Chain A
């Protein structure tokens, strides 16, 4: 408890890097974002989650001043994201989910252009990134696979060691080795006090690198929480192997049990209730093996968005 309080105080003391106040951007009926309030602090890795069309990219494009707000303000490093957009973008690195540039350029030509547009880029660092992400810089962009294009885009976003890295579903198409290298780069940045704001569908990636996550649904930010707090409350998968028979009737009526599967003498289900009560019910029959699995962000994600869909139906 004391540790949590200390950490919370620590977060409050850190300088806010990205602040969204009552941000609304509408494209017409039921589209866009509405009343978004959010603050991301220095050194934080923030995960921005939501299904397609929830408003993740609209939020990011508003930060980059590609979209003009209907109301609200966005400040980055204390500067107005619209009025001071060039100054803001000097300190930002950005990669979209599908890196796009002139397809006839080679990777090296694109990186040279990015280097000139950013200015003040350390070429040694660029070479290091190219090596770490195993980029094929001699090939034309049009001949590269999606994953290889994304790697070039990542180098362009990281080359000036930006204070704030904004990534919109950045790892689409990356192989597991590069994905792991990417996670490592994000952690290294964090250790140096650099901030990252990323939207993603790959929840394992968010779980691996993010400190806090925000859930957006229908253009509204519905929850922002530290990852550990979020996972603490998250439902867990429970797997029990019985020696003879299972207390099925008690399990089915126990509050918090859902998605029950029967595999021989094993019962696998999701649980989000009191653990003393669960252990009492499980212990009524002789247990051979019991596993309570680490909570996964996927479960929470599904709970948020499936609940909404059920309500809609």
Chain B
């Protein structure tokens, strides 16, 4: 567990991993086992009573009637990604700005280990933890589907998990890149969480508010699950765009980290 920066970072993130894994698994399981209640006719009236501007958060009535629609909207929709984006930002912050703020990065860099190695091994650890947590949702889904006696297209589920994992990594990477390039904890929290909250609102409201549709193009959430992956499959262009942003952020963080002073006590 203490062989290198990667394994040490996994150890640092162990409680994050366990806590978020259980929390997200619980949300997914609970949402899925409630499907039979939502698919009944009564829900139609409730959904129709929601104002148009909030419909994209709640979903379409039709989505509650089919398993793919329900999973696409309720499992891989805002309910889950609101929580998972917070998780990703916190996980990436835990191994970057938090460690620098309390002097642990200074201590680590006094050992014979290059900044590049530190940057990428921490990066790999955070990516691995976020992806493992997101991927574990498939287990909760499977158990819940067995309990309610339903089945689903697992290829589509894995595709949705892939896209959710990617969008989470991009938001986490935004926090990590700023933290590693500047060493400023406050700035990275402010920009990453501010952008996440902003993009969440814009992408949720854009379908109902024409003036937001242009700004929505700058929200990375616009490129996730749009159109719904469970019914339409992956949108390759969106994936390429998200991957591109991820790579650019990775490079910005790395170059910034190589060129700056490390915060010292």
- Mask: chain A, 54-71; 1 = CB below 8 Å from B; 0 = not: 000100010011111000
A102-B99 Cα distance, complex, nearest whole Å = 8
Return A74 CB to nearest CB of chain B, in Å: 14
Contact B3 A98 (CB under 8 A): no
Which residues of B are found within 8 Å of A87, using beta-carbon distances? 112
Return A241 CB to nearest CB of chain B, in Å: 49
A114-B108 Cα distance, complex, nearest whole Å = 9
Which residues of A are found within 8 Å of B111, using beta-carbon distances? 89, 114, 117-118
Q: B238 an interface residue at 8 Å Cβ cutoff?
A: no
With contact pairs A61-B264, A68-B259 given, residues A100 and B106 touching in the complex (Cβ less than 8 Å): yes
Contact A116 B3 (CB under 8 A): yes
Chain A, residue nearest B264 (CB): A61
Chain A, residue nearest B114 (CB): A86
Return A93 CB to nearest CB of chain B, in Å: 9
Q: A94 an interface residue at 8 Å Cβ cutoff?
A: yes
With contact pairs A66-B110, A89-B112, A117-B111 given, residues A101 and B261 touching in the complex (Cβ less than 8 Å): no
Which residues of A are found within 8 Å of B2, using beta-carbon distances? 109, 112-113, 116
Which residues of A are found within 8 Å of B156, using beta-carbon distances? none
A97-B2 Cα distance, complex, nearest whole Å = 24
A101-B265 Cα distance, complex, nearest whole Å = 13
Which residues of B are found within 8 Å of A68, using beta-carbon distances? 259-261
Contact B8 A100 (CB under 8 A): no
Contact A94 B110 (CB under 8 A): yes
Return A54 CB to nearest CB of chain B, in Å: 15
Q: A75 an interface residue at 8 Å Cβ cutoff?
A: no
Q: List CB contacts (< 8 Å) of A108-126 with chain B.
A: 109, 112-114, 116-119
Q: B103 an interface residue at 8 Å Cβ cutoff?
A: yes
Contact A67 B103 (CB under 8 A): no
Return A108 CB to nearest CB of chain B, in Å: 10
Q: A270 an interface residue at 8 Å Cβ cutoff?
A: no
Q: A34 an interface residue at 8 Å Cβ cutoff?
A: no
Chain A, residue nearest B261 (CB): A67
Count class of interface residues, chain B? 20 to 34
Grouping DSSP codes into helix (H, G, I), strand (E, B) and loop, the B interface class, with mixed when no group exceeds half, is: loop
Which residues of A are found within 8 Å of B265, using beta-carbon distances? 96-98, 100
Q: A186 an interface residue at 8 Å Cβ cutoff?
A: no
Return A40 CB to nearest CB of chain B, in Å: 18
With contact pairs A67-B264, A100-B103, A113-B2 given, residues A86 and B113 touching in the complex (Cβ less than 8 Å): yes
Contact A89 B3 (CB under 8 A): no
Return B133 CB to nearest CB of chain A, in Å: 20
Contact A67 B262 (CB under 8 A): yes
Return B149 CB to nearest CB of chain A, in Å: 44
Q: A90 an interface residue at 8 Å Cβ cutoff?
A: yes
Which residues of B are found within 8 Å of A98, using beta-carbon distances? 103, 265
With contact pairs A67-B262, A68-B259 given, residues A99 and B107 touching in the complex (Cβ less than 8 Å): yes
Contact B4 A117 (CB under 8 A): yes
Interface residue tally for chain A (C-beta within 8 Å): 29
With contact pairs A100-B265, A109-B2 given, residues A119 and B107 touching in the complex (Cβ less than 8 Å): no
Q: A179 an interface residue at 8 Å Cβ cutoff?
A: no
Return A88 CB to nearest CB of chain B, in Å: 8
Which residues of A are found within 8 Å of B262, using beta-carbon distances? 61, 66-67
Contact A64 B110 (CB under 8 A): yes
Q: List CB contacts (< 8 Å) of B1-58 with chain A.
A: 1-4, 8, 11-12
Contact A66 B106 (CB under 8 A): yes
A147-B260 Cα distance, complex, nearest whole Å = 32
Which residues of B are found within 8 Å of A102, using beta-carbon distances? 8, 11-12, 104
A90-B113 Cα distance, complex, nearest whole Å = 9
Chain B, residue nearest A108 (CB): B2
Which residues of A are found within 8 Å of B109, using beta-carbon distances? 64-66
A98-B11 Cα distance, complex, nearest whole Å = 23
Chain A, residue nearest B8 (CB): A113
Contact B261 A119 (CB under 8 A): no
A57-B265 Cα distance, complex, nearest whole Å = 9
Which residues of A are found within 8 Å of B114, using beta-carbon distances? 85-86
Chain B, residue nearest A69 (CB): B261
Q: B150 an interface residue at 8 Å Cβ cutoff?
A: no
Chain B, residue nearest A112 (CB): B2
Residues of A within 8 A of B (CB): 57, 61, 64-68, 85-87, 89-90, 92, 94, 96-102, 109, 112-114, 116-119
* Given contact pairs A67-B261, A94-B110, a sample of 18 additional A-B residue pairs in the complex whose CB atoms are under 8 Å apart: A61-B106, A61-B264, A67-B264, A68-B261, A86-B112, A86-B114, A89-B112, A90-B112, A92-B110, A96-B265, A97-B265, A100-B106, A100-B107, A102-B8, A102-B104, A109-B1, A116-B3, A117-B113
The 6 residue pairs across chains A and B that have the minimum distance between CB atoms: A100-B103, A113-B2, A117-B111, A89-B112, A94-B110, A90-B112
Query: Could you list 28 A-B pairs, sorted by A, with CB under 8 Å?
Result: A57-B264, A61-B106, A66-B106, A66-B110, A66-B262, A67-B262, A67-B264, A68-B259, A86-B112, A86-B114, A87-B112, A92-B110, A94-B110, A96-B107, A96-B265, A98-B103, A100-B104, A100-B107, A102-B8, A102-B104, A109-B1, A112-B2, A114-B111, A117-B4, A117-B112, A118-B111, A118-B112, A119-B112
